[in-house]
């Protein structure tokens, strides 16, 4: 009974902390992009795309190689996510529902003693594994979308848009290509965040206390990874002074 109370109190509280942090991070990215790593990267990628498209004959190979590296990173995360999803699905179908071997059935009878250290019932174990599975599936989908946009950008970035005169109203611009590259990066970041969310959910298998402690640790760790403490704050202050001046 005490374990169920901890699940109903600490688990929602830990997820609320993670969600609240990301809502605050989204606000910072929208309102003060120069204070966040994501916002700074968005600005720098737009400058990079403009520089790459100034002379495609000189910088075309470099641009394609850079985008190819991003595609490989997204492919690695997508492959890892679908592999882990398959593993979790095997554990759920063979270890949770009792349709596996006799060894899996004995684990069910003892409420996952070997996996969850006797934390919760069969129903709670199913919820825990399903939550982890959702994180990995979301990560897979986000990384697939990232590959899609990076692939589009790898073709668009080599188009000599300044020489195109036949499409006066729908001419390709560096801003459009920069938006495409940034969309690929956004989806890659979302896929990586899904991996981050899977860590507390995985520790939930060992108890609500471990999951809650992991959520607190993740929030502090992500804060130091997402926020720029020197350059970003100065740049944001300078832009604010220019707007007010």
Residue 1: what pLDDT?
A: 53
Query: What pLDDT, on the 0 to 100 scale, is given for residue 132?
Result: 93
pTM above 0.85, yes or no: no
User: Per the structure block, which two tokens stand in for 87?
Assistant: 């593993």
Categorize the per-residue pLDDT at 161 as very low, low, confident or very high, splitting at 50, 70 and 90: low
The pLDDT tens digits of the residues spanning 172-188 come to 678 888 999 999 999 99
Tokens 């071997």 correspond to 101
Given a contact cutoff of 8 angstroms between Cβ atoms, the answer to whether 154 and 64 are in contact is yes
User: Per-residue DSSP letters for the chain?
Assistant: -HHHHHHHHHHHHHHHHHHHHHHHHHHHHHH-GGGBHHHHHHHHHHHHHHHHHH-HHHHHHHHHHHHHHHHHHHHHHHHHHHHHHHHHHHHIIIIISS-S-HHHHHHHHTTSHHHHTT-S-HHHHHHHHHHHHHHHHHHHHHHHHHHHHHHHHHHHTTS-GGG--S-SSS---HHHHHHHHHHHHHHHHHHHHHHHHHHHHHHGGG-HHHHHHHHHHHHHHHHHHHB-SSHHHHHHHHHHHHHH-
Mean pLDDT check: name the lowest of 77-91, 117-131, 141-155.
117-131
Provide the pLDDT confidence category of residue 5 given band limits of 50, 70 and 90. Answer: confident
Mean pLDDT throughout 70-91?
93
């Amino acid at each position: 009974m005490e374990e169920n109370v901890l699940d109903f109190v600490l688990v929602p509280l830990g997820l609320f902390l993670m969600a609240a942090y990301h809502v605050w991070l989204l606000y910072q990215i929208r309102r003060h992009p120069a204070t966040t790593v994501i916002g700074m990267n968005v600005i720098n990628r737009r400058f990079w795309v403009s520089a790459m498209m100034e002379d495609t004959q000189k910088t075309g190979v470099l641009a394609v190689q850079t985008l190819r590296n991003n595609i490989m990173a997204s492919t690695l995360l997508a492959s890892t996510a679908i592999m882990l999803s398959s593993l979790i699905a095997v554990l759920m179908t063979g270890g949770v529902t009792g349709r596996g071997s006799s060894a899996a059935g004995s684990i069910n009878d003892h409420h996952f003693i070997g996996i969850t250290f006797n934390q919760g019932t069969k129903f709670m174990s199913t919820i825990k594994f399903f939550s982890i599975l959702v994180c990995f599936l979301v990560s897979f989908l986000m990384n697939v979308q990232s590959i899609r946009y990076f692939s589009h950008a790898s073709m668009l970035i080599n188009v000599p848009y300044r020489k195109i005169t036949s499409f006066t109203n729908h001419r390709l611009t560096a801003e459009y290509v920069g938006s495409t590259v940034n969309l690929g990066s956004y989806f890659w970041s979302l896929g990586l965040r899904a991996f981050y969310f899977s860590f507390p959910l995985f520790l939930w298998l060992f108890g609500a206390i471990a999951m809650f402690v992991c959520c607190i640790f993740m929030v502090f760790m992500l804060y130091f990874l997402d926020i720029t403490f020197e350059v970003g704050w100065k740049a944001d202050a300078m832009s604010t002074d220019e707007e007010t001046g």
